[in-house]
Structure 1
Amino acid sequence: MKITPAFICLLLLLTINHTTQAQKVTKPKFRVIALAEIGGGHARFDTAAKIWLNKLAIDSNFSVDYITDTKPITKAFLRRYQLFIQLDYPPYPWSDTAQMAFENYIKKGKGGWIGFHHPTLLGVFDGYPMWQWYSQFMGGIEFKNYIPGGASASLTVEDKNHPIMKGLPTSFTTKDEWYIYNQSPRANVHVLASINEDTYDPQKNVKMGDHPVIWTNEHVKARNIYIAMGHFPSLFQDENYTTLVRNAIFWAVKK
């Protein structure tokens, strides 16, 4: 077979077109940065979360990168991502640079945010002062107590029309090491779900009365969701929980 210049040009054009089409298919729809705590009591939850997130990312064509501390966080770093997931990482210790970058990301709506469990560990811990802005972001609360070992409780969906509640029953049972705050965040956030402390199983005396567990702060531009449940890895075997998290991800990135 005689190979002519025209034939070579045709092959090159076909190769370029194939490569371009492949890039269109494989380019992720959006990018996620997940801040995950290593070690400690939440390591098993974070491991289960990563496995679940990685599968969802493959199935839904988005990418997830992980960091284990806040050192990389700057405004330039966060510009690369459309969603910030805080997997059981507390609001300390963050550098001043990381704090300012995160505040800018949330206040200006540079991307979405989902926080699990540990972000409301607000107060003075390990010599670090409470991050006042973060406390206001979470509804003006301060951590006071929790239920060691956890307890099951009946969760009631308060806003059935919110997109993250799509496909969920109006009430279901879930388990966590429930946090208690100095006050309910309700006055400062939009509560999406709460638990009935009288349904604790086993019964516990660690209560705060009005007990929201899923909420969003509508006073900032970023779409944001806080989910109190985030201690036990078995949560990712609960269809209600995985539906909630999946909905939250796509709502937060406006997809």
Structure 2
Amino acid sequence: MKSNPEPVFNLSGKKILLLPVILLISSLMFTSHAQSTKAAGKRTKAIRTLIVGGGSSHDFDKWYKQADAETLRKDGLASVRYTDNTDSIAYYLPDVDVLYLTNNQPIKDPLVRKAIMDFVGAGKGLVMGHAALWYNWRDWPEYNQQLVSGGSRGHDPYGSFHVNVTNTKHPVTKGVTPKFSLQDELYYYQQDNSGPGVEVLATASADGSDKVYPSVFVVNHGQSRVVGIALGHDEASHQLPAYQTLLRNAVKWAAKK
């Protein structure tokens, strides 16, 4: 008996050649895969972000290593690495798009300090959160002068205050509620006139006080996109949608995406 050259499937007594059907299905699957691959190729790559934490007076692991990292990873916006070993910063920087400094612990190694300055000078993004906007390092004045363009030496006791977005059209404040309140430390950020200067995007003020301080700002660095966010002491900030939007916007803008 002569064997069939192609596999067949019998349906109600009718023979159906399977090979053409298999080829058709394979063709459709390949086309679908190719289209998916092509679409995936158009997607923006995750922003490689290094978060640096560690120091005193804050739970860096809970609110930066965990909460902020989760906020940035959402929907594939960023791939995040966290370290509280400041000596390792220079090692990671070659593979980083945005450096997110949140620490108030010392950065002692001169080579690491230089690596940070070179990173920003080369046009890579820098975001500085809460504790990193303090005057932390007397032996590294260039940090506050050139990168923060100022800093804070004091703050109100932990409590409620208001944030007013003064520039709603900037990419960092896009989608952020124009006015909101929260429990946090109201930092007394002041500009350094010898620095590059800043553009204030949001201010903070407490009830019954006529003092208004920059709370979110961008530094006029020239080579790089640099953002400062003074909010961020604990859960009241990190779990707040306005804060999360600011952080995601800041990283995206600093990465020039």
- Taking structure 1 as the reference length, the TM-score comes to 0.74
Gaps of at least 5 residues in structure 1 are 1-13, 201-206
How far 1:158 moved relative to its partner? 1.4
* Maintained 8 Å contact 1:146/1:178: yes
- Please say if 1:107 is aligned against 2:110: no
2:175 aligned residue (167, 173, 179): 167
Q: Identify the match of residue 245 of structure 1 among 244, 247, 254.
A: 247
**Hey, what's the Cα distance between the residues in 1 that align with 2:125 and 2:188?**
26
Whichever residue aligns with residue 104 of structure 1, its letter is D
1:67 shift after superposition: 1.0
SS state of the match for residue 175, structure 2?
Answer: coil
Question: Is structure 2 residue 105 aligned with structure 1 residue 97?
Answer: no
Report the CA distance shift for 1:91/1:217 in structure 2 as closer, same or farther (over 3 A). farther
Matches of 1:157 and 1:30, distance apart in 2: 25
What SS does the corresponding residue of 2:106 show, helix, strand or coil? coil
Aligned counterpart, 1:80: 95
Q: Does 1:117 align with 2:130?
A: yes
Which position in structure 2 is the counterpart of 1:131? 140
Q: Deviations over 1:164-209 (max 9, x none)?
A: 111122221123212235x445882111111124457xxxxxx9x3
Matched, 1:63 2:85: no
The gaps in structure 2 that reach 5 residues or longer are: 1-29
Runs (4+) of structure 1 exceeding 6 A deviation are 24-27
Give deviations 1:53-109, integer Å, cap 9, x for gaps.
2364252153111111211122x631210011113x027233101100001111221
1:138-159: per-residue Cα shift (whole Å, max 9, x none)? Answer: 1234x432234x1211111111
- Give the letter for the 1:140 counterpart: G
SS in 2 for 1:251: helix
Kindly, what percent of the aligned residue pairs are identical? 26
Counterpart CA distance in 1 for 2:155 and 2:80 is 31
> Is 1:158 the counterpart of 2:174 in the alignment?
no
Structure with higher RCO (Cα < 8 A, 6+ apart): 1
Q: Provide the residue aligned with 2:67 in structure 1.
A: 51
Decide whether the 8 Å contact of 1:197 with 1:211 is kept in 2.
no
Q: Is the 8 A contact 1:152 1:199 kept in 2?
A: no
- Relative to structure 1, is the Cα distance of residues 58 and 198 closer, same or farther in structure 2, using a 3 angstrom cutoff? closer
SS where residue 229 of structure 1 aligns?
A: coil
Q: Does 1:189 align with 2:198?
A: yes
Alpha-carbon distance in structure 1 between the residues aligned to 2:46 and 2:153: 40
Report if the CA contact (8 A) 1:152-1:176 is conserved.
yes
Higher radius of gyration, 1 or 2: 2
Pick from 37, 62, 69: which aligns with 2:54? 37
Q: Structure 2 vs 1, CA of residues 120 and 167 (structure 1 numbering), >3 Å: closer, same or farther?
A: same
CA contact (8 A) 2:49 2:80 kept: yes
Aligned length: 222
TM-score (norm 2): 0.73
3-state DSSP class of the match of 1:79?
Answer: helix
For 1:9, the equivalent position in structure 2 comes to none
SS at match of 2:58: helix
Mapped partners of 1:80, 1:190: distance in 2: 29
User: CA RMSD, aligned part only?
Assistant: 3.2
Tell me what 2:225 maps to: 223
Q: Classify 1:58/1:196 alpha carbon distance in 2 versus 1 (closer, same or farther; 3 Å).
A: closer
Residue 214 of structure 1 is matched in structure 2 by: 216
